[in-house]
Structure 1
Amino acid sequence: MHWLLSGPLSIEKLTVNITGLPASLQGKKLVQLSDFHYDGLRLSEEMLEKAIALTNEAEPDLVLLTGDYVTDDPTPIHQLILRLKHLQSRSGIYAVLGNHDIHYKHAKAEVTDALTSIGIHVLWNEIAYPLGKELPLVGLADSWSREFNPVPVMNQLNPDIPRIVLSHNPDSAEILQTWRVDLQLSGHTHGGQIMIPGIGPAMFFYEKLTEKIPSKVRRRVPFLQENISVVKHWEWAQGFHRIGKNQLYVNRGLGTYLPGRLFCRPEVTIITLRGD
């Protein structure tokens, strides 16, 4: 994707307060990357290289990837991992899959195997402990998957223990209010791609408009069918949100679809953990 259509890469830095965070984890630094859509069309090599360099410069304790490494055909994952293998983290790199990573038959296995081959831990309804037992990391199946079922995973955790949850689609935050989620990291929305200053994502109004267009017409017009119902909660399209007692951060992603981005730059997110 040409830089004129995506805008320059942005570094977003935030501090997240977590109740009950152990002293040993105070100041731990996480870097989140999301929505690469690496297929030669939606992410330039230059931006990807810069995102990896900025990640490594941050010297993170943990790198977290929140899905959509490819767009349709999973084959480009084999080129993407040649770049991602340069990511550096003290306690490892953990990932979940997005809806595009499971779109084609066998895509889930191919993307998972490729990421695993370079030491990235892919979580699919699993719990990991890269920072120790005092701060579990939960990775959920994509919410559009038939395997999305947080109940048996989340119920394994002691509610007195803080946790971080990776879930590609931010809409899952609505369901996850049943449990304690000290920090949910999501992507999927690309931040809305086109933001109307002071109003919000243009996609919200676009979806409302296209809902009124007959399906026979939508199928004949490029982009109308593909982008319907990206998310329910466009108010969570990017940035930090409190959802009940839980906390959600939505990364704007690196990849860009046509017609491009406006007031919605691609991002690398650097998160510092603090006790509340």
Structure 2
Amino acid sequence: MHWFLSSPLSVEQLTVKIAGLSASLQGKKLVHLSDFHYDGLRLSDEMLEEAIALSNQAQPDLILLTGDYVTTSPNPIHELALQLKKLQSNHGIYAILGNHDLHYKHSKAEITEAMTNIGIRVLWNEIAYPLGTELPIVGLVDYYSREFKPATIFNQLNPSTPRLVLTHNPDTAEYLQQWRVDLQLSGHTHGGQIVIPGIGAVLPYHKKIVRKIPMILRQLLPCLRREFFIIHHWEWSQGLHRIGNNQLYVNRGLGTYFPGRIFCPPEVTVITLERE
């Protein structure tokens, strides 16, 4: 991704309050990274190196990755893994896959193996306990996968136990309201990429705008060839949100699609946990 199509990397720091958080977990620090789209086009090596350096500088207790490591072919995951191997965390690195990581039938296996080989635990409808049994990490499959069946996972947990949930698509927050989700971490939206201050992301108006553009021009720009919404709840496209009793944080991602980012910088998120 050429520098003028993206923006300088932003570090977002926030404190999230969790009801019933164990005193031993007070002040624990998480780093959240998402949507790399590492394919030689959408994320520069320089920005990736900077993101890794900023993550390590935060000295996180846990690093959480929420999908879309590649765009189509899974082949770039091997080079990306060599870079992700430099990430440092006190209690490891946990990840889920995004929709782009499932593009081909063999993508899931190849990406999972490459990340497992460097010590990153990929969760596929699984629960992990890197910070102990008092704060499980739930990793769900992509929202549109046939295997998206969160009930089988959440029913394994005591309703009184706080938990973090990794799920690529923020639209899942609406469905997950029937369970306790102290903090859901998602990506997928890239924050909208083009944001008008005071109005929000331009993409929700994508269909209306695209239909007014002559087809001959649409064919020249891949981002205009298809008319669809990548999520329904654009009001959740970035930042921290309260969804019923649950909390959702949406990372703007690192990778950038054409035509680039405006008022929507790529981000590294540093989250400090606090007892409510």
2:105 matched to which residue of 1? 105
1:119 matched to which residue of 2? 119
> What's the CA shift for 1:93?
0.1
TM-score normalised by the chain length of structure 1:
0.96
Amino acid at match of 1:29: K
For residues 1-48 of structure 1, the C-alpha deviation after alignment (integer angstroms, 9 at most, x for no partner) is 112111100000000000000000000000000000000100000000
State the identity as a percent: 70
2:27 matched to which residue of 1? 27
TM-score normalised by the chain length of structure 2:
0.96
Helix, strand or coil for the counterpart of 2:83? helix
For residues 215-259 of structure 1, the C-alpha deviation after alignment (integer angstroms, 9 at most, x for no partner) is 9x9789632344622000000000000000000000000000000
1:241 matched to which residue of 2? 241
Amino acid at match of 2:111: V
2:24 is the counterpart of 1:49: no
2:76 is the counterpart of 1:76: yes
Q: Is the 8 A contact 1:210 1:228 kept in 2?
A: no
Q: 1:3 to 1:113 in 2, by over 3 A?
A: same
Q: Is the 8 A contact 2:204 2:229 kept in 1?
A: no
2:181 matched to which residue of 1? 181
**Total equivalences in the alignment:** 276
What is the RMSD computed on CA atoms of the aligned residues?
1.9
Superposed, 1:133-144 pairs within 5 Å as: 133-144=133-144
2:152 matched to which residue of 1? 152
Q: Is the 8 A contact 2:210 2:227 kept in 1?
A: no
2:203 matched to which residue of 1? 203
Helix, strand or coil for the counterpart of 1:127? strand
Using the alignment, how far apart are the partners of 2:243 and 2:190 within structure 1? 20
For residues 113-155 of structure 1, the C-alpha deviation after alignment (integer angstroms, 9 at most, x for no partner) is 1111100000010000000000000000011211111110011
Using the alignment, how far apart are the partners of 2:225 and 2:116 within structure 1? 33
1:168 matched to which residue of 2? 168
For residues 91-127 of structure 1, the C-alpha deviation after alignment (integer angstroms, 9 at most, x for no partner) is 0000000000001121011111111110000001000
Using the alignment, how far apart are the partners of 1:261 and 1:232 within structure 2? 20
